[in-house]
Structure 1
Amino acid sequence: MLDTAALEAWFVRLPEVLAATDPVWLVAAIFTGVLAVCMVAVALLWRASLRRARADADRIAEQTTAQTQALHDELTGLKERLQSLSELSLHGQTQLSGALQERLDRVSQHLGEHLQAQQRDTAEQLSQLYQRLSVIDSAQAKIADLTGRVVSLQDILADKQARGAFGQMRMEAIIRDALPSSAYSFQPSLSNGTRPDCIVRLPGTTEPLVIDAKFPLENFERLRTAHEAEARKTAAAQIRQAVGRHVDAIADKYILAGETQDSALMFVPSESVYAEIYEHFPDLIQKAHKRRVIIVSPNMLMLAVQTMLSIVKDARMREQTDVLRKEVSALTQDVAKLAQRAAGLQRHHRLMGEELDKLAGLSETISTRGQRIDALDFDEAQPPAANGRATG
């Protein structure tokens, strides 16, 4: 390393040396001096950079130490937090384990109670099932008895008169349930001596609608029980013949010009028979339409009766509307009379008001004269009262 003290001493002695030195050596010495100065500058720069490097290194070391300390502190805090978290986790795990155990105990208790309740319910249901089985046994006995009664009913329906009575009862039940008693009659007499099963009186006309309930059902039973093609063909032919005769009988006996409606209803007391006619006997339907005989089932008769009921209600409503119109007209006349009387009363009130005004003026005049008399003021120069009725 370069000695700066020696260099400084050499520079102090440099003038003396230059005076006693040969020019050649002087140039060399100058060059050497410049070189030495450069070396000194370089050395000084190097020492300054070294000091800066050491300062930077110290600063970096301090920063590193501070960062290391901060990191150590953070690690210490993190360790403490991890320890706290571990303790909390352990505590929470303990609580969770206790809660789970408690819940498992409750679930076990609830499950035991539920099983006991289910056993009781099962026992009760089995007891009820035994009771229902006994009821079913008694119901089977009743069904057997009812089966015997149905067989007897079939025997009854095998009779033509019994079947007619059955259809009559069904038709009458539908009519009674829907229409008021004044709108129908059962088995009335017509002018030709016939007695239809029912007539329905429609509003707005004196010609009732006839309903016949005597429908031939025996041939349909033969068609239902027939299994051979020839037997079915024979039964179908008998149905066409019987139903066709019945349609002609209704049209001839119950459709009377000027006495009944130009159409009549033929009641079929069975929906299945009605469907059979419309599905397999379209020729009978066409014949009935031509003779103005309408074939109806219980449901169709109920619909027709509901339509008739709507017509009856509408007619009654129109009658009530006429009555209401008359009442409204009378009420309008009464209101007009009331308006006239109110106008007269108002005129009387106006006249009475005018008279009251005059009476008030006269009263004021009398009061003024009384005051003058009390004050002994008989000055004739004062004008009389405004009404002009005062006497001197």
Structure 2
Amino acid sequence: MPLSLDLNQILLIAIIGLLFLIVIFLIVNNAKINKQEKLIDNRLNKYLIDINSNTNSSLNTLSNNLFNYLQANSDLQIERIDNSSKIVTENLKSLSSYLVESQKQNNEHQINKLEAINKTLAQNALIEEQKLDNLRRTIETNLTNIRQDSNRQLEQMRKTVDEKLQETLDTKLTQSFKTVSEQLENVYKGLGEMKNLATGVGDLKRVLTNVKTKGILGEIQLSAIIKDILNNSQYEENVNTNPNSRDKVEFAIKLPSTDESYIYLPVDSKFPSQDYLAIQNALENGDKEEVERARKQLASTLKTQARTIRDKYIYVPETTDFAIMFLPTEGLYSEACNLNMLEILQREYKVTITGPSTFAALLNSLQMGFKTLAIQKRSSEVWNLLGSVKTEFVKFEKVLTNAQQNIQKTSDDLDTLVGTRTRAINRHLKNIQTNTIPLSEFDQIENKEVD
């Protein structure tokens, strides 16, 4: 189409140029005619000048001749113009026919080109479709091969994994059964040990819950401390220090005086275990009100026992004007100190409370005093000695606190051992009887035993 438009434009320009040439040709011819006419006019004027003198008849003749001449020349020019117009018209018709024919040929040529292009495109599309079909078939074939190869490899991997899993499972099961057997044997051994321990704990509990037995336990501990530090000549057992009372104090330490005589220092053990256990239970339960109530009860019990010691065993001048109350456990002594019983009992009842550590320190101080100083008969000097000993008690506070924590931890371990661990072992043994215990439970039991 762009080629045909260019050709039409060229043809149109050619036609315009041809018309322009025709117009120029006509103008040139008219110029020639005008020139000839001017030439004739000049000649006529010359003739007129020359023959002015001639007669009118000659002028008329000449005029007629001139008119005829001019008419003849006009007809010739008109005929020439007509011929030129006919030639131009024929040329235009020929040119128009040529242009129409050329346009027709160009259209046919363009149509033929378009048909050839369409045919080529159809052939190319068919070829591309065939190529795509071949490519699709090739891809499908390759995918099928890849899928088959993958399935074959997966099947081989599955077989390998199954074999490895079966082998590993057999090994693990064998090891697990072996471990289970060993752990069951350890459990049976531990069960026997737990039974023995439970029996011992039960015996210990019976001892601790029996009031008389607890009193005997305090006396035994007090006796062991005194006999370990003092000589037999420095103390007496079960002494009646007060003539007004029939009760005998458990131990009386002999304090020498200046006249080779001695006075007694009454020492009596007390063990208000019920009040102390009530405090411990309240602390474990986190009941603050119960803790306060139990501590008040312990303070009241200690005051009552201190009053009893004062009334029964202190008799000046046969004894010192104070006595010692021995508490057989560091925890109980610590609770008494926390309740400020050390100062209250000393101030109100002239009774000094001690624990195992502080009583041993007191006896050591007295023993050193026996060797370096003769104790005066007056008990005030003894009190001064005890005052100096009291200052030493502060040094034992940290030791007493650590001892209390250790005792508390031991009590917690016993509770755990008797309660939680016993129930756990019984539960595991029950599972063993029903064959429902999982393997992980044995690891937990073993870890607990290691702990």
TM-score of the aligned structures, taking structure 1 as reference length: 0.43
Determine which structure has the larger helix proportion and give its number: 2
Relative contact order, higher structure (CA 8 A, sep 6+): 2
Greater Rg by CA: 2
